[in-house]
Amino acid sequence: MIQTVRGMRDMYGAELADWHRAEEVFRTVSAEFGYEEFRTPILEHTELFKRGVGENTDIVGKEMYSFEDRSGDNLTLRPEMTAPIVRAAIEHTLLRHSPVTRIWYAGPLFRHERPQKGRYRQFHQYGAECLGSPNPESDAEIILLANEILRRVGVQRYSLELNTLGAPDTRTTYRAALVEYLTEHESELSADSVRRLATNPLRVLDSKEAADRPIVDAAPSLSDYHDEASRTHFDGVRAILDAAGVPYTVNAHMVRGLDYYSHTVFEFTTDALGSQNAICGGGRYDPLFALIGGTDAPAVGFSIGIDRVMLLLEAERAAPVLGPSPDIYLCAIGDAARLPVQLLAMRLRRRGFSAVTDLLRRSMKGQMKDADRLRATFTASIGDDELASSTVVLKNMQTGEQKTIPQTDLEQALTSA
Ligand code: HAM
C-alpha cells in the first residue's frame, strides 16, 4: 500500500469548506488594503534561500528539500515566500514602476521538520509584503492587515508580540556581546543552545528549554544597544497600533528564525495549539534586497500559517461544518428520461445552479436516497408523463412539499426558494 509522504496530507471534504472561506477572506481583505496577488514557482534556485534566509538558520541548514535536477541545477522546494517575492521584485523591476509595491500570496511550502500537530512538511501560508517604504506606517499597515485577516477568517483567541532588532550593524555589535556572555555560561546551556551559540547565537534567546531560561533572562539585552533612529522607528509603529486599538506585548527576547530581519519583528500566537503556537510571523527585512543581489530597498511583511489557522477554527467551532451540497438532484425514471435529465442538468448549471444526476442507473427509490445522502435542496423527477408534458415533479427535500411544474419554470422555482 502506497501512502502519503510523512508530514504531508490529503485535504478534502468538510475541511476544504473552511479553506475556501478563508481564501475568500484573503482575496477580499488584501484588495481592501490595496495588495495585489503574486504567484511564483514552487521551485527556486537553492542559492536564493542560502543567501536570503541565511546559511546558519534551521530552515537552510536542516529543513530544505533540495536536489540537483537533470540539467545539474541545484533547486529547492520553496521553504518560505519572502525571498522568492523579493527575487521577483528585483527580476521584474517592480519598484521602478511602483515605489511602494504591495503584494500578497498564498500557496504550499516545504520544510523537512519533525511532523506533529500543526507542523507539517508541506504546509501553506497566506502572506503579504510591502516593498519600498522605510517608514513605521508600513510596518503598522502590515500588522493591521495580518490582524484583520485573522479576525475576519474567524480566529477568536490570539495575541500579538512585538520586538525590534534594531539596525543591522547594531545586531552585529550585540551579537558579539551576547556570544561573550553565553560562552561564559556554555556549560549550563542545553545541547541545542550550545549548537546555536556556534551557528546562530541570537536564536538562543528564543530557547524554550527550562534550563536555558535563567541564563537567557540575565543575558545582555538587545534593547540597550539600539540607536536613536531605531527607537524612534519602533515608537512610531507602536503609536499607530495603540491608536488603532490593536493590543500587543513587547517581547524583548523574540528574534525570529530567519536572518533577513532588521528593526520590527512580530508574531501572532495562540494558546490553543500546544507547542506549535505561532500562527503568523513577520517583520521588517531591509537587508534582503542587497543579500539577493538587488539595489537596496526597505520592506516589511508577514506570513500566516493557514494549516494552523484551520486547526484553530476547528477547535473553536461548536458544530461540525458540512461539505458542499447540490441545489438540485435530477431523477430519471425509466431509460427514456436519462438523456433529457442530463440536458436539463446542463441548462441549470449554465444558470449557476449546482445540479447532480444519477450515474449508476439506480431505481427511483435509490436516486431519492442518493439525493438525501448528498443533502440536495431539491429533487426534480422526470418519467414518461413528465416527458410528454415537459414538466418535472419538484420536491423540497426539507419540507417534503411536492408539485408538478413546467420545466421552463425550474430556474424561477429554485431562485425563489
Ligand atoms: P515563519 O515564522 O517561518 O516566517 O513562518 C510563518 C508561519 O508559517 C508560522 O508562524 C507558522 O504559522 C507557519 N509555519 C511555519 N512552518 C510550518 C510548518 N512546518 N507547518 C505548519 N505551519 C508552519 C516566514 O516564513 C517568513 N517568510 C514570514 C515573513 C514574511 N517575514 C516577512 N515577510
- Does residue 79 line the site of ligand 1, with CB under 6 A? no
**Is domain 328-416 given the CATH code 3.50.50.60 in the classification?**
no
pLDDT band at 337 (very low <50, low <70, confident <90, very high): very high
Q: DSSP string covering 101-114, please?
A: EEEEEEEEEE--PP
Report which secondary-structure segment, H or E, holds 367: helix 364-373
Of 283-297, 317-331, 363-377, the poorest mean pLDDT is in 317-331
In the 8-state DSSP scheme, what is residue 66? Answer: E
Rounded CA-CA distance 258/264 in Å is 13
Q: In the chain, what percentage of residues exceed pLDDT 70?
A: 99
Q: What is the pLDDT of residue 299?
A: 98
Name the residue at shortest CA distance from atom 4 of ligand 1. 281
407 Cα–ligand 1 center, Å: 53
Q: What is the pLDDT of residue 376?
A: 97
Among candidate residues 135, 130, 68, the one with its CA nearest the CA of residue 104 = 130
- Does residue 81 line the site of ligand 1, with CB under 6 A? yes
Closest ligand 1 atom number to CA of residue 127 = 30
- 8 Å CB contact between 369 and 350: no
Closest ligand 1 atom number to CA of residue 83 = 27
Mutate which of 303, 310, 313 for ligand 1 pocket (most atoms within 8 A of beta carbon):
303
For residue 259, what are the contacts with CB-CB under 8 A and spacing of at least 6? Answer: 53, 54, 56, 57, 200
For residue 78, what are the contacts with CB-CB under 8 A and spacing of at least 6? Answer: 40, 41, 42, 43, 44, 49, 84, 109, 110
- Does residue 307 line the site of ligand 1, with CB under 6 A? yes
- 8 Å CB contact between 257 and 58: yes
Looking at this protein, which amino acid is placed at residue 279? I
Strands 74-77 and 159-164: unpaired
pLDDT tens for residues 275-322?
A: 889 999 999 999 999 999 989 999 999 999 999 999 998 888 767 667
- Does residue 158 line the site of ligand 1, with CB under 6 A? no
Rounded CA-CA distance 333/29 in Å is 48
Closest ligand 1 atom number to CA of residue 80 = 25
- Does residue 129 line the site of ligand 1, with CB under 6 A? yes
Q: Which fold has domain 13-167+226-316?
A: BirA Bifunctional Protein; domain 2 (3.30.930)
- Does residue 282 line the site of ligand 1, with CB under 6 A? yes
Name the residue at shortest CA distance from atom 25 of ligand 1. 80
Give the torsion sign (CA, 138, 139, 144, 147). Answer: positive
Residue 60 has pLDDT above 90, yes or no: yes
99 to each of 33, 34, 291, how far by Cα in Å?
A: 16, 14, 20
**Mean pLDDT of the 249-274 span:** 91
At CA 285, angle to CA 284 and CA 288, rounded to 5?
170
Rounded CA-CA distance 193/205 in Å is 9
**Mean pLDDT of the 365-375 span:** 96
- Does residue 136 line the site of ligand 1, with CB under 6 A? no
Name the residue at shortest CA distance from atom 1 of ligand 1. 281
Per-residue cell: 334? 425509466
Rounded CA-CA distance 39/30 in Å is 14
Q: What is the pLDDT of residue 266?
A: 98
Per-residue cell: 268? 501572532
282 Cα–ligand 1 center, Å: 8
Residue 255 has pLDDT above 90, yes or no: no
pLDDT tens for residues 179-227?
A: 999 999 999 999 989 988 988 888 898 888 888 989 998 999 888 899 9
231 to each of 8, 248, 360, 414, how far by Cα in Å?
A: 42, 17, 70, 62
Name the residue at shortest CA distance from atom 11 of ligand 1. 305
What per-residue string of b and e applies to 387-410 under the rule 16 or more CB within 10 Å gives b?
Answer: beeebbbbbebeeeeeeeeebeeb
- Does residue 279 line the site of ligand 1, with CB under 6 A? yes
Residue 71 has pLDDT above 90, yes or no: yes
- Does residue 262 line the site of ligand 1, with CB under 6 A? no
412 Cα–ligand 1 center, Å: 48
- Does residue 82 line the site of ligand 1, with CB under 6 A? yes
Q: What is the pLDDT of residue 101?
A: 98
Residue 412 has pLDDT above 90, yes or no: yes
For residue 74, what are the contacts with CB-CB under 8 A and spacing of at least 6? Answer: 45, 46, 47, 66, 67, 68
- Does residue 286 line the site of ligand 1, with CB under 6 A? no
- Does residue 283 line the site of ligand 1, with CB under 6 A? yes
pLDDT tens for residues 23-56?
A: 999 999 999 999 999 999 999 999 999 999 999 8
- The domains of the chain are located at 13-167+226-316, 328-416
- Does residue 392 line the site of ligand 1, with CB under 6 A? no
Per-residue cell: 125? 501560508
Per-residue cell: 302? 508577514
Mean pLDDT of the chain, nearest integer: 94
Give the torsion sign (CA, 173, 49, 111, 155). Answer: positive
Q: What is the largest CA-CA distance in the chain?
A: 94
Name the residue at shortest CA distance from atom 14 of ligand 1. 305
Rounded CA-CA distance 375/365 in Å is 15
Other Cβ atoms closer than 10 A to 239: 12
Rounded CA-CA distance 286/305 in Å is 23
Q: What is the pLDDT of residue 287?
A: 94
Among candidate residues 217, 198, 221, the one with its CA nearest the CA of residue 207 = 217
- Does residue 280 line the site of ligand 1, with CB under 6 A? yes
Closest ligand 1 atom number to CA of residue 121 = 19
